């Protein structure tokens, strides 16, 4: 493989890694400097290029064909990052349900990682999930998953399965299921609290439920969340395991 082919191979590998770094959770955060993203994608591509060059893959020199090939490589990285982001979308949605139930629904905070408004519980769970992802070396597993994708989807080998779109759609629907699991402890406690306050309102009509109930639901929501940290981390284990299983299935579908 000549110097030109090696350079073109490096660029294509760099483009695929760039798609992941831009779209993946945590790695794609605006808190991660652009120079760091470029350096991570470039260094990863530098390590992978000699391995891929040994496969003697043909790289087109025609500008149009090469541009189409590079576009396909970018799409592979972007779609992999999108599938990984679904997990944190479920966390945001679950936190929003918790906020609506506990009384924090009127207050949002800005999450610079996703560049959007986040509910308070959602932001807390997002930080918890991000730290837990670092703890289990999930950010390394993201890069390793993309590196392994070159074995099954070689450069220019993008040929998505016709049913892949429906599979990804089902994963998107699973976001709501995961969100309900995340919010279940607080939502269940809030339901019992509202039923109790409703009964108290009937028994003691003079009681101002809004004055009493608002701080009560907030305190109960915080207490249940604190007591459920271990449960959330156990749930995150399963959610992250499913996330990488989906990525693995996605790579097979892209080939």
CA dist 16 and 152 (Å) reads 14
Question: How many contiguous H segments (helices) and E segments (strands) does the chain have?
Answer: 8, 2
pLDDT at 217: 76
pLDDT at 103: 65
pLDDT-wise least confident of 18-27, 102-111, 170-179, 235-244:
102-111
Pick 52 or 85 by higher pLDDT: 85
pLDDT at 239: 81
The pLDDT confidence band at residue 249, using thresholds 50, 70 and 90, is confident
The pLDDT confidence band at residue 207, using thresholds 50, 70 and 90, is low
CB 80 within 8 A of CB 243: no
159-186: average pLDDT:
79
18-46: average pLDDT:
81
CA dist 99 and 106 (Å) reads 8
Range ranked top by mean pLDDT from 109-113, 142-146, 195-199: 142-146
217-235: average pLDDT:
81
83-93: average pLDDT:
83
Dump pLDDT digits (tens) for 61-76.
Answer: 777 887 888 888 888 8
The three-state DSSP-derived secondary structure of 10-68 is HHHHHHHHHHHHHHCCCCCCCCCCHHHHHHHHHHHHHHHHHHHHCCCCCCCCCHHHHHH
- Structure pTM? 0.76
């Amino acid at each position: 493989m000549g110097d030109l082919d090696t350079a073109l191979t490096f660029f294509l590998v760099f483009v695929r890694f760039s798609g992941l770094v831009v779209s993946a959770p945590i790695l794609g955060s605006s808190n991660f400097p652009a120079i760091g993203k470029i350096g991570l994608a470039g260094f990863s591509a530098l390590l992978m290029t000699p391995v891929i060059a040994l496969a003697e893959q043909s790289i087109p020199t025609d500008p149009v064909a090469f541009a189409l090939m590079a576009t396909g490589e970018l799409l592979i990285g972007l779609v992999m990052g999108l599938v990984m982001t679904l997990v944190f979308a479920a966390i945001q949605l679950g936190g929003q349900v918790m906020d609506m139930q506990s009384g924090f629904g009127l207050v949002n905070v800005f999450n610079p990682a996703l560049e959007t408004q986040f509910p308070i519980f959602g932001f807390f769970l997002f930080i918890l999930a991000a730290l837990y992802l670092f703890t289990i070396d999930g950010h390394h597993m993201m890069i390793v998953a993309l590196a392994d994708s070159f074995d099954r989807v070689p450069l220019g080998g993008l040929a998505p399965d016709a049913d892949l779109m429906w599979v990804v759609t089902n994963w998107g629907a699973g976001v709501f299921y995961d969100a309900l699991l995340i919010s279940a402890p607080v939502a269940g406690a809030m339901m019992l609290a509202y039923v109790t306050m409703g009964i108290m309102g009937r028994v003691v009509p003079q009681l101002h439920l809004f004055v009493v109930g608002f701080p009560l639901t907030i305190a109960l929501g915080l207490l249940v969340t604190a007591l459920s940290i271990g449960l959330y981390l156990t749930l995150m284990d399963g959610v992250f395991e499913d996330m990488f299983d989906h990525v693995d299935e996605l790579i097979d579908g892209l080939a």
